[in-house]
Every structure is written in C-alpha cells, then in structure tokens.
Structure 1
Amino acid sequence: MYIEMSTARVKSIRRSRVTSLSPTEGLIRPKLNKQDFSYLVQVGIGTFMDGFPRSKTYYLQLDTGSQISWIQCEGCINCLNQVDPPFPASQSTTYLPFLCTECPPDTICRNNKCVLDIEYVDGSKVSAIAAMEVFTFASQGESNHPIKNIVFGCGFDMQNFHEGGIDKNKLSGVMGMSNGLYGFMEQTKLIFSGMFSYCLQPIFTQGSSPMYLRFGNDVLPQPIQMQVTPIYKYDGEGEYYLNLQGISVGAQRLAIRPDIFAIKSDGTGGCIIDSGTTLSWIVTGAFNVFKDAIISFIKDSNRDNNWRKMRKHETEYKLCYQRYKLPNTIVLPVITFHFENNADYVIDVKQSFYLGTSSKGRDMVCLQYFESTIDHHDGVTYLGGVQQANKRIVYDLQNSLLHFGPADCSNEN
C-alpha cells in the first residue's frame, strides 16, 4: 500500500478558464494534518443553513502537482471509503455546477453535466462534475474566512484509490495547489499574489504540534540560510518544474550529465517538486548511478559487516539492509539535490531512509527513492513529500522562484 500510494500522479486536465473571486480581508491559515503517508489540508466547503459553522469540514490531500481540487460527493459510485459523509452538494446554497452550454475546456457534457475525467498514473481515476463553490478556511484569529467561486470537481466515481483502505480514513479528495489555470493558486492570485508556504513534519514521527498552510503576507520571513532556485512551467501546465543539475551522495557529487534531468521535446523528463507524491523518483539514467553510489557508501562506511543487503524484498522498496549482529548502528549518507543558482537541497538521512523491522524481527533500513521510467512515470524526477519534511518551502509564483531552507517544523507558531 505504501508504494502504491506514493506513485506520482500525472494529471491529464488542461485549464483555460479563470474564475472571478470576491475581495477578501485578513489572512487564511488552514491547518495541515498527517494521515498515513499524506498531508491533508482542512477545508470548509459549501454553505448550509442548518448548524454552525455554515460550511462542512473536509480533509483534502495537499498536492502541489495537481491542477484542480476535487472532493467526493453524495450519490457517488465506486465511492472512496471515508469517515466523513460525502459532500452533500444538493444541500449547499452556493453549489453551482456548470451548464452544458458553458462547459469548461477539457470537460465533456454527460447526462446534462460538465464532467471532468481525471486520470492518475498509478491507475486511480476520478470522474467529477465541474462546479463552483465556496471554500472556507481558518484564519489567524478565531474566525473562518470564505473564498467564493472556486472551480472544483464534485467527484461521483472514484476508482482504484488505495487511501480508501485506510482505517478511519479522513481523506475526501485533493487540494490542487499547482499553478494551472484551475489550480487554487491561480484562482486566488489576486488575493495572495501567488505566494504560499508550508513546513512539513516528518511523516513517520508521532506528535500533535500544529502545521499550517500559509498564504500571501502570512508567509513567514525567510531565514538567512534560505536558498532560491527558479520555477519553470512547461507547455502551459501548472506543475512546478525545477532545473535539477546533479545529485550528491555524502560528499561525492555523482557523475551524471545535467541534461539527463532536462525536459525532452516530447514532454517527458524534467524535475517536479510535488507534495502529493509521497516519495521521490529519479529518472532511470541517474537512478542507476545513484543506487550504486548508495551501495558503495554503505559498504565503505560499515566495515564490520553487521548490516547486509537483503536479497529478497519484503516490501516494495528496492534496496534494503538488515542487521545481523551488534552494534545496531549504521552510517548512512546525506543526499543533496543540486538545483540551478547553486541551490543545494540537502535531505536528512531520516527523510532518505526508512527504518523498520524485517520479518525476522531484525532492524531494517530501506532507501526511499525509486526509479522513474519512461513507461511508468514519463521519466520525470519527483521531489516527493517525505523528502520535503523539516524544510521551510516558499513558492513565489509572481517571480517564479522557490525558496527553501532547513527548519524545525514542530514549532510552527
């Protein structure tokens, strides 16, 4: 389940319509939650006359690689199992589906509804009614803050979503944070000036200290050690492409040509930062060099042979080591992604390696990076959510810049 959920989801929808937004005051600061291997945004959706608050609260996956937000709605077929009831769109006084006479591009009229068909590379699919609705977020104070006319998908057919198998699953859909025309940041650019930020706690750690998604003027001042690299768009799509120029394992910069990470003329390749992809994926030509360097580092740094490479995979991880004798310590390398503008993205050992227990009850260590092939991931290199933990990451979309630096994400206040 872990690896299936971490598979990069490549979106097929292209945007060509921007909705109007109501003027707003104050700053929103929605809470972020962890569930299994996802980061969830707490969002109020709709307007209801009974009870308080007026909206209904749902949890959407924080996905900087997705170009539209969607939520599972009432009357769904092949429904995603979730704790909260599906969104009751028919009861919301502000739910406004598009008419077939004005279907947005890349939707089709089906049963008198404009339908979005969203396909992901891991085999999961969503069919959703294209509509507009009020999204409500927590603010800095105690009040809630509504944003009107957000274009989203009201999902009625969800297939092959592994999240539905999680006990007490809270996830109800996706918060599309890309810069595509229907992405949340594009729709709200007049409000937040294309600025948002997050600081993610490691997915495997316990604890309840708050995390927040910050926008506009609420983006925290950047510490001195923040680095910056350009953000690129490809062919009008909204994914956040970065110019990856190399990778280091420990102190060794690997002999990988920078053009291996470049976007090809057919649209394959490139490097994307994507919070909705749990783990990181590296294009084939670089991954083989990377994996060999990891093996050599562990062999050279652990001469007592107390850890040995596992021949049989007990998980979906492709490179694991098992402890055979004491001591139980193992020396592992820091991984660095080298981006344009001499911006070094240093990934801590705890974000690069999974620490667990084998079927024999022995300590086990596994590499949390995977090979991105042309056939399965279009050869795209993904910087996934696990490898973004304990970093303050700031997206400045007006200036097409990504700022990042080390941070203690357990102290967000």
Structure 2
Amino acid sequence: MSPHSSQSSNISMAMAAPFLLLLPFLLSILLLTSASPSTDVKPPAATITLPLSPLTKSHHKNPLQRLNHLASLSIARAHHLKHRHENHSSPTKAHLLARGYGGYSLSLSFGTPPQTLPFIMDTGSSLVWFPCTHRYVCNQCNFENVNPAKIPTYIPKLSSSVKILSCKNPKCRWVFGDVAPLNCTTETCPPYGLEYGSGSTSGLLLSETLRFPDKAVKGFVVGCSVFSSNQPSGIAGFGRGPESLPAQMGLKKFSYCLQSHDFDDKPKSSEMVLTGRSDSGDGETSGLSYTRFIKNKAASNSAFQEYYYVNLRKISVGGKHLKVPYRFLVPGSDGNGGTMVDSGTTFTFMEKKVFEVVAQEFTKQMANYSRATDVEKKTGLRPCYKFSEEKSVKYSELVFHFKGGAEMALPAADYFSIVDGLGAVCLTIVTDDDPDAPELAGGPSIILGNYQQQNIYLEYDLEKERLGFRKQICR
C-alpha cells in the first residue's frame, strides 16, 4: 500500500498518548461551535449511488519504483491486518475514483451546512474519520501534488449539528469497549489512535449528520482527526464493526465495480451503490455467483471479526487445481488462516507456502517465456517474464474456487501487470520472503486486494451474509 492507501485500524491509547497534549486545544476549538442537539434517528435508507474513483496520482513515475512501492506497501498492509489486535486499553450512489498509489476514494458530506471531503474506501477497517480543524497536522504527507497545508479538512465551528461524543454515550464503546479508561473521568469519549500499515491518525469522536442529496443520517459517529502520519485523506470504514458506515446506515448491502488503476491522471470513476433495508425486492442480483461470508470467531483476537472472510477452497492455474494445505484456507481455532476480501490492499497477499505453490505453477506453465529476473529484483514481484520479442503473451488463467461451487475467474490484467517501457509482465501477487517468518504467521493467509478486484462487480450482501460477484467492464 502507498501512504495514501487505507489500512485497517488498531485502536491504541498508547499511540494516542502524544495527542493528549493537544486535547485541551481541540476541545476549545470544538466547543466554539454553535452545535444544536442532534437526535440519533436513522431515516429510511433507500438506494444511494456514489462516485467511486481511482486515486490517480502516483509519487513514483518510474514504473519499477512504482511497482516496488506498491508491492512493499501491500506486504506492510498484510502485516498489519494479520497482526492487528483490538486494544481496549484505551439504492444511494457514490463515485469511486482509483488512485495511482493503489486505493479508491469517494466523497461524503458531513454537517449543517454540509462539508464535502474525499475518503479512502476501506473494507478492512470500520471507523469513518476525516482531517479536522484548521490546525490539522499531517506528517510525512509531502507527496507529489499533495501539499499538507492544503489538505481538505472538516471545520467543526461551521456546523450547527456537530456534538462531541460523550464518554457515557453507548456509541463511545463501539471503539473502546467496556474497559478502562472508560471510567468516564472526563465528559468526552477518550481520544482515539488508529494505526495503519503505512500511517496513523488520532483525534476525538464526534456525533454529526452524514448527508446525501435526498436524505440524512443523524447522530453518525465520525472521527475528528487532528494529527496524522502518511494519511492525507480521511478513511471511510466499510468493515463489519458497529462504527462502520454500512452498520450506522443500516444497509442491507453495498456494491461496487472497480475501474482499472492505470496509474495515470485520467478523470474517471465508477459507482458504489448503498442499499438500505427499506428497499423492496428479494435481494437477488441477476448474473451473480455467491459465496457465504464466514466469521473468524477467535477469542484471542476480536479484531479479526471485522474482516470479510470468504470460504476459499481451491486455487487453480491454467485449469490445474493446486495443492494448498487446508489450514491456510479456513481460520483455525486460533484465528489464523483463511481468506479475506480487502479494498485497502493493492496487490493480493498470500502466505509464502500458498504463494510458492501458485508461483511455481505459473513458472511451469509459462516456461516458454524468458524470465525477467532483473525486473523481479527491482519491482519485488515474481515471476516476471520478457515479452518484447513476442507478438503476444498467453497467460495461464487464475481461478478462485469457493465452497458451494462459486468460481471467480480473474481477467489476466488483474494478476499480471505490464512494466511500462521494459517489455516485461509481472505477477501482481505478493508474499513475505522473510526467512524467519513462521509458516502460518497469524491472521488471514490470503488477502484479496483491489488490484485483483478490478473489472469485477462485487456485492456485499450484509443481510444474507454473502459475497456476490461477476466479471464486468467497470465504467
């Protein structure tokens, strides 16, 4: 993942400790609002369509550096998701835009009158937060065309519907749980700290109105971040926690179709559809294959319960079913293993034992092409093949087979990327090559990233606990 890419959150008071020094100042800023009481009433949610857009700017113009950066950050993202611990110590439519650093964004409006800001769409975390106040600070955010001083921020004093979330409000425990420091020695909900694979953020929780063109969600819990590192944009958490956008809106499903990254500056977007429980119909979408979500019930790490796990049973390359040990495909009693779907990871991650089985089969079936070992060393991806002397490249088909018979056959462009100007293509699946890493390193063994979700329509059916999908050219 790049510094912009969304990461799954780890609530940590230890990380938020430096932020405590800013707490009196932040409170003074927020309390200067003319906020009026906001009742926690959920309106009947109809279908909402939002633009979903690729994040088109990349701060690495060199294709080798860009791919290496995305590969490294995809592994960092995987490390965070796999080793994340929950720390209790402390139809509407939108456009999705793809980002050159590996993520997708949408715009959401909060407050009265509404303030519209960009958010990274993340199915691997739950809290929704935005850069907040004129004093927002973002360290290490000086990327290409990103001026930390000009990051769009939400200004509390301009809204009449904002409230600081009270410590005694039950919603405060969505984030912090039922343990200290929630002895409510202060009136406000404690400051949060969220750690990501490539950055962090901290701030206070607010109760605010989330607005769409024809409806409003009052009493929406949102994070007001005043300090971040490597996170110049807010994050819209679409995970399975109670603080997530789908949960707070009472959605019965949401869906999207991700356009190709292309890693360029073309202004393009696809649509994300949010479907409320008041919508009519049986919830069936034509032409979809479905596989059920499974829950990781590991008592040792409740953070895993926020992830969208699917029951992947087999992987095939070029029609050959690979021998992947079962312990990697389904979460065990310790919570380790299994496959999750994550919009915040760029390149799909596989534990080394799984990756080697897949990579070796590609190597075997594509042996007639020369390996581009120099490109592999520079990009961190493998295998890579030279094609400059070939008229065309024949790719072995990669298929994920799920319990119940559903099959996800990926378009070739979803798992092989052309390295511009070098006459090479590389497999865009990553692993941890650390020789000291344990065989089953904890958490999900396979993380299906957004690069492998391109041009596939995905429906998260929250009511029927299943994932639907079909190949589709996303427009």
Does residue 88 in structure 1 map to residue 155 in structure 2? yes
Residue in 2 aligned with 1:98?
165
Distance 1:218 1:328 in 2: 51
Aligned residue type for 2:242: L
Instruction: Write the deviation string for residues 169-219 of structure 1: whole angstroms up to 9, x where unpaired.
Output: xxx211111121111111122xx3x21111111111775554111122499
Compute the RMSD of aligned alpha carbons: 3.0
Residue in 2 aligned with 1:233?
295
Residue in 2 aligned with 1:183?
244
Distance 1:154 1:405, change over 3 A: same
Does residue 364 in structure 1 map to residue 364 in structure 2? no
Residue in 2 aligned with 1:50?
none
Residue 288 of structure 1: how far off its partner (Å): 1.2
Does residue 125 in structure 1 map to residue 200 in structure 2? yes
Q: What secondary structure sits across from 1:313 in the alignment?
A: helix
Residue 148 of structure 1: how far off its partner (Å): 1.5
Map 1:49-68 to 2 at 5 A.
Answer: 54-68=113-127
Residue in 1 aligned with 2:83?
none
Distance 2:280 2:235 in 1: 23
Distance 1:232 1:95 in 2: 37
Does residue 12 in structure 1 map to residue 6 in structure 2? no
Select between 201-210 and 234-243 the one with higher mean Cα deviation.
201-210
Select between 19-28 and 270-279 the one with higher mean Cα deviation.
19-28
Instruction: Write the deviation string for residues 238-263 of structure 1: whole angstroms up to 9, x where unpaired.
Output: 21111111211121111112332221
2:107 to 17, 38, 42: 42
Distance 1:90 1:46 in 2: 10
Map 1:338-353 to 2 at 5 A.
Answer: 338-353=401-416
Which has a greater percent of helix?
Answer: 2
> Is contact 2:117-2:152 (8 Å) kept?
no
Distance 1:320 1:363, change over 3 A: same
Map 1:303-318 to 2 at 5 A.
Answer: 305=370, 308-310=372-374, 313-318=377-382
Residue in 2 aligned with 1:173?
234
Residue 83 of structure 1: how far off its partner (Å): 4.9
Q: What secondary structure sits across from 1:148 in the alignment?
A: strand
Distance 1:312 1:214, change over 3 A: closer
Residue in 2 aligned with 1:320?
384
Distance 1:261 1:389 in 2: 23
Which has a greater percent of strand?
Answer: 1
> Is contact 2:5-2:120 (8 Å) kept?
no
Residue 233 of structure 1: how far off its partner (Å): 2.2
Q: What secondary structure sits across from 1:386 in the alignment?
A: helix
Residue 25 of structure 1: how far off its partner (Å): 6.0
Distance 1:5 1:256 in 2: 32
Distance 1:7 1:40, change over 3 A: closer
Distance 1:202 1:267 in 2: 33
Residue in 2 aligned with 1:381?
446
Could you state the TM-score of these two structures normalised by the residue count of structure 1? 0.81
Long gaps (5+) in structure 1:
48-53, 138-142, 165-171
Map 1:297-308 to 2 at 5 A.
Answer: 297-300=365-368, 302=369, 305=370, 308=372
Aligned residue type for 2:165: F
> Is contact 2:192-2:203 (8 Å) kept?
yes
Distance 2:52 2:207 in 1: 23
Residue 355 of structure 1: how far off its partner (Å): 0.7
Residue in 2 aligned with 1:393?
458
Select between 280-289 and 365-374 the one with higher mean Cα deviation.
365-374
Distance 1:208 1:328, change over 3 A: same
Long gaps (5+) in structure 2:
13-38, 56-99, 142-147
Instruction: Write the deviation string for residues 149-173 of structure 1: whole angstroms up to 9, x where unpaired.
Output: 1112111221244xx4xxxxxxx21
Instruction: Write the deviation string for residues 71-114 of structure 1: whole angstroms up to 9, x where unpaired.
Output: 11122233553754311123221221213444723545798552
Distance 1:280 1:147, change over 3 A: same
Distance 1:160 1:377 in 2: 26
Distance 1:371 1:7, change over 3 A: farther
Aligned residue type for 1:45: F
Instruction: Write the deviation string for residues 260-283 of structure 1: whole angstroms up to 9, x where unpaired.
Output: 222133322221111111121112
Distance 1:289 1:25 in 2: 45
Aligned residue type for 1:130: L
Aligned residue type for 1:152: V
